[in-house]
Amino acid sequence: DIVMTQTPLSSPVALGQPASISCRSSQSLVHSDGNTYLSWLQQRPGQPPRLLIYKTSKRFSGVPDRFSGSGAGTDFTLKISRVEAEDVGVYYCMQATRRFTFGGGTKVEI
C-alpha cells in the first residue's frame, strides 16, 4: 500500500498570513495514464471532508483561489496564501493512483 505522510501535524497561523502543508508518498503517484491522482481535502470541525484540490493542482468547483496545490512524483504541497477564520480545520492529502490512502492530517488553527 502507498503510505502518505503529512507535515506538520499542526500549523498555528495568524489571520491573513500564509500556511503551507507538505505531503510525501512512499511511491510515485504518477498513474499509467499520465495523471497524478493527489488531492487535498478540508475537514472543518464537525463536518465531512470537502474536496479542495485534485490531480495535484486543480482547484475544485467553488474553492477560493487562495488555495493552491503543487508537486510531482512523491512530494506535494498545499498552500493557503492568506488564512481566513473559515479555513480552520484539518487538511488531508489523499492518493487515488493505486486504490485510496490518506495522510494523517494537518490541523490548521489560528
Partner 1 sequence: QLQLQESGPGLVKPSETLSLTCTVSGGSISNSGHYWGWIRQPPGKGLEWIANIYYSGNTYYNPSLKSRVTISVDTSKNQFSLRLSSVTAADTAVYYCARSSADVGTMDVWGQGTTVTVSS
Residue 35 found at the interface with partner 1 (CB under 8 A): yes
CB atoms within 10 A of CB 76: 27
Q: Determine the Cα–Cα distance for residues 31 and 97; give it in Å rounded to an integer.
A: 6
Length of the chain: 110
Positions in 74-103 near partner 1 (CB under 8 A): 92, 94, 96, 99-103
CA distance 53 to 102: 14
Q: Pairing state of beta strands 75-80 and 4-7?
A: unpaired
Region binding partner 1 by CB under 8 A among candidate stretches 7-15, 18-26, 37-45, 67-75: 37-45
What number of chain residues touch partner 1 (CB under 8 A)?
Answer: 23
Q: By C-beta, is 15 or 72 nearer to partner 1? A: 72
Residue 64 C-beta: closest distance to partner 1, Å:
17
Contact call for residues 90 and 6 (beta carbons, < 8 A): no
Binding residues for partner 1, rule: CB under 8 A, are 1, 35, 37, 39, 41, 48-51, 54-55, 58, 60, 92, 94, 96, 99-105
